[in-house]
Structure 1
Amino acid sequence: MIVEFSILLPFIMAAFIPFIYRRFKKFHIGWLVLAVPVTLFSLLATYIPLIANGQTFIKTYEWIPSFNINFTTYLDGLSMIFSLLITGVGSLVILYSIFYLSTKESLQHFYCYLLLFMGAMLGVVFSDHLMVLYAFWELTSVSSFLLIAFWHHRKASRAGARKAMTITVIGGVAMLAGFLMLYDMTGTFSIRELISNFNMIQTHNLFIPAMVLVLLGAFTKSAQFPFHIWLPDAMEAPTPVSAYLHSATMVKAGIYLVARMTPIFGGHEVWFWSVSGIGILTLFWGSFNAVRQYDLKALLAYSTVSQLGLIMSLLGFGSAAFALGYSSDSIIYTQATFAALFHLINHSTFKGALFMMVGIVDHEVGTRDIRRLGGLMTLMPFTFTIAIIGSFSMAGLPPFNGFLSKEMFFAATVEILSLNIFSLESFGLIFPVVAWIASVFTFVYSVIIVAQTFWGQRKPERIEKPVHEAPLGMLISPFILVALVVGIFFFPNILRQYILQPAMLSVYPNFPYPVQLTKEISFWHGFKPELFMTISVVIVGMILYRTLKKWRSVYQILPQKYSFNALYERLISFSESKSHSLTRSYMNGQLMYYFVYIYVFFVAVVAGYFLLSDAFSWNPAKDSPVEYYELILVLVMVFAVVSLLFAKGRITAVLLNGVLGYSVAFFFVVFRAPDLALTQLVVESVTTALFLLCFKYLPDLSKENVSKAMKFSKATISILVGATVTLIGLAVLNYDKFESISSYFEDSYNLAGGKNIVNTILGDFRAFDTMLEVVVLFIAGLGVYTLIKLKAKKGDSDVEN
């Protein structure tokens, strides 16, 4: 029950926030919102011992059983890690936002969007059903769009939100196609059942296409190369949003999906090279581009891209264990996945703290541009402490948790060289080399954050406001995170035993050596390759930092117009230009053309279908006899229609149109449908009244000058539409492909207690539909009454004309 409660509570609170905010405007709504993640984190934490003992919790609620769609929640070790990050970091972010955001901001909208995102993320990690997971997946894109564009008065915020949503939603649609392929292969949407049927899936023809499509969804959400371009632009969001979405939660959704799907796709060469290759490339490209940034948030954005690539590549390395089978030889390669999960937690702690640090600098100094910063260490000592702990952890230095997982990463890149599968004997050297180069750049930009912001000379002439330390409220959250950075370094095995070990069992189900899936975490492993890689990273990194001005021109080799961002902007600009031209070609503002498009399409599709199929069947002998009064009504309608075509006066056209409508109402009376007759009479009276009210604005038919060609085309389309509708009516009379539902309604007395079938259908079987029809009529009546009572002001008639 705790899982369902965790998903629903943020949505429920989001629904009530606007009402609470209006009632208690003097009370900061953030304090009430803070109770949601704190409560959820506390409740989920009580399940940690149970999950650590190997228990899992499954609950299914029927939703759309006819389509095999049920709301099934699943709590295991892997979902526990992510849920604790979502609620734990979420609590700290909301606490930070209370002091960061001004009360003049639209706080009710901000916290509503934030809770929607929190609930959607919890829905993603707790869902066992692929369709439900996809629904929450897209909801994270929508809610993140709202959060990124929170400062919607800024053009950059709107552009960043649009880019993020465009890329992630396209990837999500691709992922949906992959999910449908998995269902086609197995007949189930359950992730647990898919894992149990992985042998069937891996031999299917759709295996590779489904894999690629699922990876597209994961790569776009987790900002993997070349889809990473949305993440830097998303930094236009308020800093609490960046700290939450882009370091701890949303960008980790793709990581979660890859980890969850590894038991299904892992062990295949395409999966290994896609996940490992794209991950290591993203690691390098993100770290390389981070060095060139002057905006601290942009630098952290590219560093996030880089760190996500590191985690992704480790998951790829770990998937090699499935190719070797569940044997003792494959245990060494499971450690890469262990390192990925460990760094996932570490990254959330130090990157969340760094984003909050940058927010403090921006809030108190008034700029994030490192060219205008410097010498802040003595003025902002607490913020400096946060920066140095977070940055050096990100650089992989002791005594911080980033050092432990970075060492494990280096070890995994070296160990992968011993594999003789997937052509690693030829190309495997790419991984340790690229990992080392990327880590050098990681060290450089980590030093840039600390040195160029807090060390060196102050530049007061470039700062517009007096500098001072942040208030205590803004320091609490980042200090908790950096305390975790240090604490995890000294006590990592508590995390291993209670959090990481159960998660590893989720990624490697039914592994015969569960105890060996994780090994003791130690900061000293002897003089091994990973230690020498770290030492050389520090040495080379310091040299590159000292000579930064001399080699920074390397970034000018590739002109900005050939960057991925520029290519994206050109593609969007081209698409918008062509779509605008295409739209203007048929949306010309003339109602006549719109009717032509609709009717031509209708005739082409419906009449075309009847011509190309055997759907049409008509036997006049089965029809009911036509009475003389029915023929009279038909003749009256024909006379009204034909006369309407030749009418030259407005009043004549209005009256003939009324004759036509009232004749239809008489037909309903003849066919014993008084409810329809009444509705038709009311609607016809309303429309006639409207015509008369707008009489002087109607076109003057006597002055209408229409060419013969136009008249002929109109007549042709009218005849074709009339013939098509007649065709449908005749075909329906004799259509017997499916059993009629009329037999069910014939038993209306027993089912609904009414002898009149029509009345029971309207009052019982489709009561809500009938009620809404009455509401529509009521609204139409109000509209007419308002138009009658509304008195136009002087000059309005000229505008309306």
Structure 2
Amino acid sequence: MLTAILLGFLFAFFLVFAGRFFKGKLAVVSALIPLSLFIYFASFIPRIASGEVVSKTYEWVPSFGVNLGFSLDGLSLLFSLMITGIGFLVYVYTSSYLKNHQYLDRFYAYLSVFMGAMLGLVLSDNIISMFVFWELTSISSFFLIGFNNTSEASRKSALTALGITGFGGFSLLAGALLLGSMTGTYSITEMMTMKEALAGHEFYILAVIFIFGAAFTKSAQFPFHFWLPGAMKAPTPVSTYLHSATMVKAGVYLLMRFTPVLGDTNFWNTTLIVVGGITMLYSAVHTLFRTDLKGVLAYSTISALGILVFLIGLGSQGAFLAAAVFIIVHALYKATLFLVTGIIDLQAGTRNVTVLAGLRKVMMPVAAAGFLAAISSAGIPPSVGFLGKELTYEASTHSTGMVILIVAAIVLTKILLLYAGFVAGIKPFTGRLPEKFTEAKMPDPLMWVPPLLLAILGIVFGIFPALIESYLVKPVVTALGKDASDIHLALWHGFNTVLVLSIITIVVGILLYFILKPSEKLENRIGKLEPVSPESILKKLTYFFGAFSKFWTNVFQNGYLRNYVTTIILFLVILVGYIFIGNSRLVIDHTKLSQITAYELAVTIILIAGVFYTVFTRSRIGAVAAMGVVGLAICLLFVFYSAPDLAMTQFSIDTLTVILFVLVLYRLPKYLVLSDYKMRIRDGILSLTFGGLISLIALQVLAEPVNSDVGDFYAKNAYIMAHGKNVVNVILVDFRGTDTLIEISVLAIAAIGVYGLLKLRVKSSDRPN
């Protein structure tokens, strides 16, 4: 499984060197990568259907309990097949949609990284490794959404998406660490065995809030939903792949994966029902006021994600069954509609649904795909969408508490989604063909075959539901901790309440489609509410934060190093002073203080004299020389106390520092002009206070009992574990390897920044006069 996950990353790396070969006719060859992965995961279907769970673990950071653990069960298999199957069709579609694009190879690289990250996310059994892949999906989606980087709107949308999903990533990390501390493991499989203990833990609600924060931001739940419509600035293949079938469902996957761990509590279920219910209704209503095809599809996608969250919140076997089927339904029809929208935009030159009509006359196969997808979206038999709608209604009618309200909410949502599906899949192709669209041409088969294939599957799975029942749906329900033995999918369940609700939905939805026509007038009406929308409120908060940051920067980060040092030392003085005041006793054990020898006293006097000379001299060179004297005096003190290695280090640093200071100050005036004596008095008082506190701390430490366990451990294991005889070096290099790695990373980032500045070539028109 690790090879399958890394294949996307390896292909992206390969494109760095051989990308020019994938910009022309060979572009479609790249689709072999997701196709091979789809075949690989499809080979596991019989094993997973029989109840087997395929697991594989690779050690990563065993000392922290972090490994690359992967698990393939019904839930992860369904998502893996969607990621690779729809990914294959998107790769094929892209080869024609972005044909001869200057950066087609770059686009495929981003897409491949995203595919690998999504596979890693859904297959991870370790929550820390899941977080790593989670963040990789956010980063790769940032580059995909902002692919048209010459457009300010695309760049802004990419930043918004990264900001919202990045916050969710931070929330997931916090939840992962908290769950790890609560359970003593980062393995999700092991956490499932501790469900009751977790539910009774004092930090249960906090852990759930963190998981919700990650899931709601990724899956665009209210009030974090607004980043998804903005992300529609991305090319159509991105909208299809990320925003219908994969990335936005990552949050849904997270909720489903942790339902056996954290679910079946009032807090979990109620929160998901409320948030999912608000999201699905709010977004479904928004589809009535949109005229851009991508806008209609974006809000209907958010509504569908709300339905999935809503179903997970219901928590019953029927709800999980409905969610599993609806994931398949939504992936098929929404990917189709996005691909169809891309064709319309490319061939007709517009996505404005108010002017689109009659395109069936010039692109009949595309119209067939759109029509079939709309049928599945509406839940009209014999599509698999009808199956999903029936199961959703059945789960809602069997819910516990507020049944009427729940059923009314889901029925209204489904009516509005039927309207949205018809607007996106049927309206552009019906009616008279406007003259300006008569020259629209039938697209390349590489573009219209993928959506038509997906649309046909939506009908085939409806007529033959057994194709997905045992192999895909039942294993998902089993993975969620419910018994799936009595599940049977069929189009006809007899004349009952659920069928009546379905008929009402279809009839009212079709009437709404014929009565209410999309118009700019309606869109302008909803625009009047923009000032109170979550997006506008967040923008206002961002503006306030920016203004506060500017004020804070001007006061505390104003470019003067002396102010930075003063602020830091003043804070430490207040903090340490408060601790000392709170401590009822200050113990100084005079018996542990060694006798002061004459040479120590002499060196100390030299050191103090050097400090005073540095402070009061008006010569820069003299101050540097005096600082060198202070450093050498400290070296002698290290020698007196049997620390020659520290003395040599201090000597080297001080010598180098003096030389560098002299070189830097060589061209400056020799003498300092220090006229502000109030500042010098303030700094003197602050310095003496801080030095006095440090001295008190040192004396207090001497009075504390000595525990040599840590020192004994390092002395005993320095050579055995790290193969080093110098204990100090071993501690710095080996036992503090993580700290050293972070320091190296900081230096590497700084070096990259410096390299970028050195390679910068500013146009003459952009240079300041």
**Could you say whether these structures have the same fold, taking a TM-score greater than 0.5 normalized by the shorter chain as the test?**
yes
Matches within 5 A, 1:445-456: 445-456=420-431
Q: From the superposition, tell whether residues 642 and 165 of structure 1 become closer, same or farther in structure 2 (CA, over 3 Å).
A: same
For residues 770 and 523 of structure 1, what CA distance do their matches in structure 2 show? 60
Deviates most, 556-565 or 585-594: 556-565
Which residue number in structure 1 is paired with residue 324 of structure 2? 341
Is 1:190 aligned to residue 187 of structure 2? yes
Query: What is the SS of the residue equivalent to 2:69?
Result: strand
Is 1:495 aligned to residue 468 of structure 2? yes
The question of whether the paired residues in 2 share the 8 Å contact of 1:745 and 1:757 is answered with no
The question of whether the paired residues in 2 share the 8 Å contact of 1:21 and 1:29 is answered with no
Which residue number in structure 1 is paired with residue 223 of structure 2? 226
| 1:535 Cα deviation from its structure 2 partner | 3.2
| 1:312 Cα deviation from its structure 2 partner | 2.5
The question of whether the paired residues in 1 share the 8 Å contact of 2:290 and 2:518 is answered with no
The question of whether the paired residues in 2 share the 8 Å contact of 1:748 and 1:757 is answered with no
Which residue number in structure 2 is paired with residue 84 of structure 1? 81
Which residue number in structure 2 is paired with residue 646 of structure 1? 616
Q: From the superposition, tell whether residues 734 and 449 of structure 1 become closer, same or farther in structure 2 (CA, over 3 Å).
A: same
The question of whether the paired residues in 2 share the 8 Å contact of 1:379 and 1:469 is answered with yes
Which residue number in structure 2 is paired with residue 355 of structure 1? 338
For residues 286 and 719 of structure 2, what CA distance do their matches in structure 1 show? 74
Is 1:400 aligned to residue 400 of structure 2? no
For residues 763 and 434 of structure 1, what CA distance do their matches in structure 2 show? 61
Which residue number in structure 2 is paired with residue 7 of structure 1? 5
Which residue number in structure 2 is paired with residue 377 of structure 1? 360
Which residue number in structure 2 is paired with residue 523 of structure 1? 491
| 1:234 Cα deviation from its structure 2 partner | 1.6
Q: From the superposition, tell whether residues 732 and 123 of structure 1 become closer, same or farther in structure 2 (CA, over 3 Å).
A: farther
Query: What is the SS of the residue equivalent to 1:687?
Result: helix
| 1:79 Cα deviation from its structure 2 partner | 1.3
Matches within 5 A, 1:623-642: 623=593, 626-642=596-612
List per-residue Cα deviations over 1:394-451 (Å, max 9, x = no partner).
12223432222123223333344xxxx4xx2xx2111222222222222222222245
The question of whether the paired residues in 2 share the 8 Å contact of 1:29 and 1:108 is answered with no
Q: From the superposition, tell whether residues 176 and 756 of structure 1 become closer, same or farther in structure 2 (CA, over 3 Å).
A: closer
Is 1:541 aligned to residue 516 of structure 2? no
- Number of equivalenced pairs: 747
Is 1:695 aligned to residue 692 of structure 2? no
Matches within 5 A, 1:286-685: 286-317=283-314, 319=315, 321=316, 334-416=317-399, 421=400, 424=401, 427-459=402-434, 467-509=440-482, 511=483, 514-516=484-486, 518-519=487-488, 521-549=489-517, 553=522, 556=525, 559-606=529-576, 608-610=578-580, 612-613=582-583, 618-623=588-593, 626-665=596-635, 676-677=646-647, 679-685=649-655
List per-residue Cα deviations over 1:142-161 (Å, max 9, x = no partner).
33233323333333223323
Letter in 2 for 1:447: F
Which one of 719, 736, 752 corresponds to residue 688 of structure 2? 719
Which residue number in structure 1 is paired with residue 708 of structure 2? 739
Letter in 1 for 2:388: S
Which residue number in structure 1 is paired with residue 759 of structure 2? none
For residues 67 and 755 of structure 1, what CA distance do their matches in structure 2 show? 23
For residues 628 and 769 of structure 1, what CA distance do their matches in structure 2 show? 44
The question of whether the paired residues in 2 share the 8 Å contact of 1:174 and 1:214 is answered with yes
The question of whether the paired residues in 2 share the 8 Å contact of 1:29 and 1:107 is answered with no
The question of whether the paired residues in 2 share the 8 Å contact of 1:296 and 1:369 is answered with yes
The question of whether the paired residues in 1 share the 8 Å contact of 2:23 and 2:99 is answered with no
| 1:304 Cα deviation from its structure 2 partner | 0.4
Which one of 93, 103, 110 corresponds to residue 107 of structure 2? 110
Deviates most, 359-368 or 12-21: 12-21
The question of whether the paired residues in 1 share the 8 Å contact of 2:374 and 2:426 is answered with no
The question of whether the paired residues in 2 share the 8 Å contact of 1:361 and 1:368 is answered with yes
Which residue number in structure 2 is paired with residue 124 of structure 1? 121
Query: What is the SS of the residue equivalent to 2:226?
Result: helix
Q: From the superposition, tell whether residues 613 and 571 of structure 1 become closer, same or farther in structure 2 (CA, over 3 Å).
A: same
Query: What is the SS of the residue equivalent to 1:515?
Result: coil
List per-residue Cα deviations over 1:748-797 (Å, max 9, x = no partner).
99759999857975999689899999999x99xx9xxxxxxxxxxxxxxx
Query: What is the SS of the residue equivalent to 1:58?
Result: strand
List per-residue Cα deviations over 1:460-488 (Å, max 9, x = no partner).
66x8x963222232234323322322321
| 1:735 Cα deviation from its structure 2 partner | 4.8
Which one of 149, 153, 161 corresponds to residue 152 of structure 1? 149
Question: Superposition RMSD on alpha carbons, in Å?
Answer: 3.9
Letter in 2 for 1:472: P
| 1:573 Cα deviation from its structure 2 partner | 2.2
The question of whether the paired residues in 2 share the 8 Å contact of 1:262 and 1:507 is answered with yes
The question of whether the paired residues in 2 share the 8 Å contact of 1:662 and 1:684 is answered with yes
| 1:653 Cα deviation from its structure 2 partner | 2.6
Letter in 1 for 2:389: K
For residues 199 and 748 of structure 1, what CA distance do their matches in structure 2 show? 41
Q: From the superposition, tell whether residues 770 and 429 of structure 1 become closer, same or farther in structure 2 (CA, over 3 Å).
A: closer
Where does structure 1 lack aligned partners over 5 or more consecutive residues?
322-333, 783-798
| 1:593 Cα deviation from its structure 2 partner | 0.8
Query: What is the SS of the residue equivalent to 2:342?
Result: helix
For residues 283 and 539 of structure 1, what CA distance do their matches in structure 2 show? 20
List per-residue Cα deviations over 1:18-59 (Å, max 9, x = no partner).
34448x687789567544322322221111101111111233
For residues 760 and 187 of structure 1, what CA distance do their matches in structure 2 show? 32
| 1:582 Cα deviation from its structure 2 partner | 2.6
Q: From the superposition, tell whether residues 687 and 101 of structure 1 become closer, same or farther in structure 2 (CA, over 3 Å).
A: farther
Q: From the superposition, tell whether residues 459 and 722 of structure 1 become closer, same or farther in structure 2 (CA, over 3 Å).
A: farther
Which one of 234, 254, 261 corresponds to residue 258 of structure 2? 261
For residues 749 and 225 of structure 1, what CA distance do their matches in structure 2 show? 54
Which residue number in structure 2 is paired with residue 791 of structure 1? none
The question of whether the paired residues in 1 share the 8 Å contact of 2:345 and 2:351 is answered with yes
For residues 726 and 54 of structure 2, what CA distance do their matches in structure 1 show? 50
Query: What is the SS of the residue equivalent to 1:59?
Result: strand
For residues 507 and 6 of structure 1, what CA distance do their matches in structure 2 show? 24
Identity, % of aligned positions: 34
For residues 323 and 97 of structure 2, what CA distance do their matches in structure 1 show? 32
For residues 171 and 739 of structure 2, what CA distance do their matches in structure 1 show? 40
| 1:194 Cα deviation from its structure 2 partner | 3.3
The question of whether the paired residues in 2 share the 8 Å contact of 1:145 and 1:161 is answered with yes
For residues 763 and 595 of structure 1, what CA distance do their matches in structure 2 show? 27
Query: What is the SS of the residue equivalent to 2:410?
Result: helix
Which residue number in structure 2 is paired with residue 272 of structure 1? 269
| 1:623 Cα deviation from its structure 2 partner | 4.7
